[in-house]
Amino acid sequence: MKPKLLLILALVLSGGFILTGCRGMGTQSFIVIAPAQAQELEASSQTVLDVTCIRQTKRADYNLWENLSMLAPTPKCLKYDMTLQVERVVKGEFNEKTLQLHWLREPTSEQRGLLGVSQDWPFGIAKSTTLRISFDGYSGNQLKNLKITVRP
């Protein structure tokens, strides 16, 4: 009896997942810190880098229902890929010349305000924008505890 109940529960949950979609799954989450508080990055992370944005692309972050619909021409959410050129290692060790942020979720209006960037494409950060980022480790394209600020 219990295996049947578990199977039914699994089917109900997966059906709900299919209908509601998978928006945001796999996206890189991050915390935004105001440029005036950039010292917090160094104090709270293992690796701190000064980087310059050299390339960015955006993609629609449709949920599955929107993907199946032919009536979803404009996405409600976006996700971004950004290639960052490492200018300087401020703290920790990092041996790569570039860093790829994969599927960075779209910042909220509050986060945009903290960064001091506009709503303009892409992500309010133009090519050649200088940033300071910090993180505690990475695996593949995902950074653990990613924090971002615009360099003053």
Taking only the tens place, the pLDDT of each residue in 72-129 is 567 777 777 888 999 999 999 999 999 988 887 777 778 777 777 666 545 556 667 7
Each domain of the chain, given as residue ranges in start order, spans 23-150
| Fold annotation for 23-150 | OB fold (Dihydrolipoamide Acetyltransferase, E2P) (2.40.50)
Q: What's the distance, CA 96 to chain centroid?
A: 20
What is the reported pTM? 0.72
Q: What local confidence, expressed as pLDDT, does residue 19 receive?
A: 44
The token duo for 75 is 């996405």
Q: What local confidence, expressed as pLDDT, does residue 62 receive?
A: 66
Q: What is the mean pLDDT of residues 139-149?
A: 85
Q: What is the mean pLDDT of residues 33-58?
A: 87
User: Rounded mean pLDDT of the chain?
Assistant: 75
